[in-house]
Amino acid sequence: MTGYILKRLLSAIPVLLGITVIVFLIMAMIPGDPATAILGSYATPDNVEKLNRDLGLDKPLVAQYFIWLGNMLTGDFGTSFALNRPVLDEVLERFNATLILAGTAFLICSVLGIIAGVVSASRQYGFADKSITFAVLLGISIPSFFLGMMMILFFSVNLRWFPVSGMWPVYGDRNLWVLLNHLTLPALALAVVATGVIARLSRSAMLEVLRQDFIRTARAKGVHERGVIWRHALKAAMVSIIPVLGIQAGFVLSGAVYIEMVFQWPGVGRMLVDAILKRDILLVQGGVVFVAACYVLFNIAVDVAQSLLDPRIKT
């Protein structure tokens, strides 16, 4: 198993390099002088020249890439001009908040989605199945940012159950209870679409598995129907559900950008949008590379989980 994990980690290296190349190439599309773009149009010529030298922007493109890459490998992602602090510090702090939000949402959508899919499949064409199917359709059609706004309106403004926005209260203690109180609405709003997709896929994966011979075997030996569905069928269906969980994690991470805007959550998504609007290029660059790299590593974890579940995968 350790060997397999190592192998997967090694195979991630070209992907990670590819990600840096892509980000670098996209940033190279910036029209005009990058230093001016980074410093803004009010920059003095001296500063522009200094930055060009610091970033190695006076060198050829390939050399620039390797300088940038080398700096990142030593933990130097550059300095955000708008915030005047190291990019990595800012990204790490913001990513922490995003991780709390997206992680909770991922947990919610995985658990709810799978349960809904299994229930739906085991009551195929019944009332529960039809209700779930309809709820899923609604869930995957509603834009998460609109849903978030409506949730604020209903649960925060009308019912006053939850705070309207933010991660922490401006004054007062910062404990888990306060965090959960702030987290509930955004995490739910973020989880809805992915829950729908996972429920849908779990349902069809379950239907596929329930028709297979080993299910009949389980029934023939007298396993209770609960065991047939939740042990035998679900375990086999997980083989096709887990990769989708990996993909949905990417969507949850993406959707977090909208939810962070709606709920004023101090995460990396809101940081990126602000950075784009302020043309804080280095912050965008660093943030994108960092989050994408984390996502790649997460997907390796998904593969490892898959190989733990399915002994037929050669490790």
Q: Which of residues 244-273 bind other proteins (CB under 8 A)?
A: 250-251, 253-255, 257-258, 261-262, 269, 272-273
Instruction: Give yes or no for residue 72 binding other proteins (CB under 8 A).
Output: no
Task: Quote the least distance from Cβ 114 to other proteins, whole Å.
Answer: 16
Show the site string, 194-213: x = touches other proteins by CB under 8 A, - = not. Answer: ----------x-xxx-xxxx
Instruction: Give yes or no for residue 276 binding other proteins (CB under 8 A).
Output: yes
Q: Under 8 Å CB-to-CB from 199, ≥6 apart: which residues?
A: 112, 113, 114, 116, 117, 120, 132, 136
* Cross-strand pairs, 79: 86
Instruction: Give yes or no for residue 81 binding other proteins (CB under 8 A).
Output: no
Answer whether 226's CB lies under 8 Å from 140's CB. Answer: no
Instruction: Give yes or no for residue 30 binding other proteins (CB under 8 A).
Output: yes
Residues 125-144, interacting with other proteins (CB under 8 A)? 137-138, 140-143
Instruction: Give yes or no for residue 13 binding other proteins (CB under 8 A).
Output: no
Eight-state DSSP code of residue 216: H
Residue 128 tokens, joined: 């529960």
Show the site string, 86-125: x = touches other proteins by CB under 8 A, - = not. Answer: -----------------------------------xx-x-
Instruction: Give yes or no for residue 145 binding other proteins (CB under 8 A).
Output: yes
The 10 Å Cβ neighbour count of residue 10 is 9
Residues 211-240, interacting with other proteins (CB under 8 A)? 211-225, 227-228, 232, 235-236, 239
What type of residue sits at position 139? G
Alpha-carbon distance of 264 to 219, in angstroms, equals: 52
Answer whether 288's CB lies under 8 Å from 23's CB. Answer: yes
Handedness of CA 114, 155, 96, 259 (dihedral sign): positive
Eight-state DSSP code of residue 75: T
Task: Quote the least distance from Cβ 202 to other proteins, whole Å.
Answer: 13
Handedness of CA 150, 152, 153, 159 (dihedral sign): positive
Q: Which is nearer to other proteins, 184 or 204 (CB)?
A: 204
Query: By CB under 8 A, which span of 73-81, 104-112, 166-174, 284-292 interacts with other proteins?
Result: 284-292
Number of residues that bind other proteins (CB under 8 A): 83
Task: Quote the least distance from Cβ 163 to other proteins, whole Å.
Answer: 13
Instruction: Give yes or no for residue 40 binding other proteins (CB under 8 A).
Output: no
Integer Rg of the chain from CA? 24
